[in-house]
Amino acid sequence: MSTGAIEPTWADAQREAFVASRANRVARNAVTSDNVWKAARDVSHMRAYHDTFSVSRPRTGAVTNQRHSGRCWMFSSFNVARAATIDLLDVDDFEFSQTFGMFWDKLEKANMLLENVIARIDRPFDDRELQFVLANGLGDGGYYPGAMNIIRKYGLVPKDAMPETACTKDSSQMNPQLERLARRDAAQLFHMRAAGASVDELRAEKGRMLEGFYRMLAVCLGEPPATFDLEVAVGPKAKVPADKLVEQEGGPAPDPTDKDAKPRRILRDRGITPREFAERYVPFDPTDYVQLVSCPGATRPFGHAYHLCLMDTFVGGTPLRFLNVEPEVIDTAAVASLRAGVPVEMGCDVMQQFPRHIDDFPGVLALDTMDYEGLFDVDLSMGREDLWDLGETAFTHAMTFQGVELDDDGKPVAWRVENSWGKENCKDGYLVMSADWFHLYGGEVCVRREFVPAEVLELWDTLPAEDVMPWSGMGRALAPMS
């Protein structure tokens, strides 16, 4: 009877078979000398993809850079919102402060974490939900609704009103201190409960505890401005109040060949609050969106809505809610948005088939550019349902659709994707993503309601959301993007 152990004779036979193959020897020499990615890439296929798109926004702004932080969801969401500001101001570039967003996101996460602890204060320390909250409640990752909650509650500010700091460029030193403080505060709450404190008394103490989080965040990120002076050069078609415009003194003369040219104008709005800035200069409704995902599977039927428990970040904010639909629905909504000139937040498993650190990698995400099966002579194919069920894929990274190439039937062939890893990465900060790659490893978008098919919008508006835990199949797929 077999014991299930590997027999030495079997291992000897495998070695002999391996070295007898010339392809195996070549693959071994290539990988041991220069690692897997360079040896696996299929140059002929990789070079066949081009950064040309029939539908594309003409002005997208400079490529942003989240640095060594998990803020991709915020960068992607803010990149969608800034498109409206770029059009309003008639400028080629504008960037909101992600540091401002990070400050309020972390503070709100701290409040939610402590609320979740209070809600489970009578459970044992090894309760699975409690341990998950303490381990994951203050991470950098997040979702589009979280960014919209920030805009709705706190507003926005330009990048220069609250610039990047050492801790936003690399959050690895700040985050452990925030997490230590959260666990220390959780311990205090448990001790108070053991001494007979009521929930109201625990919540009152939580309010005092949040002062420590605010102080720590202000030290690491700087204080968020209560007011600031907005001063920015705007284009001739800017749709802003005339009393806020002044001509730039000593500025460049208008182009004499342009009969419509006017002197350069400066928008000045002094003493403005972040919420006033969002109301006046970000013509973008943070409540007007539908969050669609496509995660097939027997336990994840299409046409169902889901709420991801323990991952909401705002007490009283819009909760995380996803509508699971066929991939073609996502394609249709995203294409409609791009045709109207509105960029789209999207989520995917970005590191699949993605040799990011190869110097001459042209930024292509496709199914035929990395030949791992040929390199190793093994079958690595998996169906989409198996990928989700076995945890091989999840929505790990958020980016922004800025364009799409369509076939003769109007269906996507490839997407133009704005990333947030700086302009030095890939092709000037952009990726080319084939439609079949997105169907296999992607499948999440947030789009305005007007771009969603009527029957899908009705489901979004009427279906109750089923609660799913983060360790469930759907929960793993919807892991926070970073």
Full DSSP string of 71-110: -HHHHHHHHHHHHHHHHHHT-S---B-HHHHHHHHHHHHH
- The position carrying tokens 């204060």 is 121
**Dist CA 340 CA 194 (whole Å):** 58
For the chain, the 3-state helix, strand and coil shares in percent, each to the nearest 5, are 45, 15, 40
**Structure token digits, residue 411:** 């269906």
Beta strand residue intervals within 8-155, DSSP E: 55-56
Q: Helix (H, G, I), strand (E, B), or coil: what is residue 245?
A: strand
Residue among 218, 224, 219, 193 nearest 206 (CA): 193
Active-site positions? 72, 397, 419
CB atoms closer than 10 angstroms to residue 283: 13
Tokens representing 100 are: 């401002």
Residue length of the chain: 482
Tokens found for residue 23? 């392809």
Residue with tokens 């081009």: 50
Cα(385)–Cα(308) distance, rounded to whole angstroms?
19
Rounded CA gap, 272 and 241, in Å? 14
Number of C-beta neighbours around residue 254 at 10 A: 14
Pull the structure tokens for residue 450. Answer: 């007007």
Alpha helices in 283-420 (DSSP H): 327-339, 372-376, 384-389
Inter-CA distances, 428 with 42, 62, 65, 421, Å: 22, 10, 12, 10
Separation between Cα atoms, residue 292 and residue 452, nearest integer Å:
10
- Exposure string of 160-181, with b = 16+ CB inside 10 Å and e = fewer, is ebbebeebbeebeebbeebbeb
175, 112 contact by CB (below 8 A): no
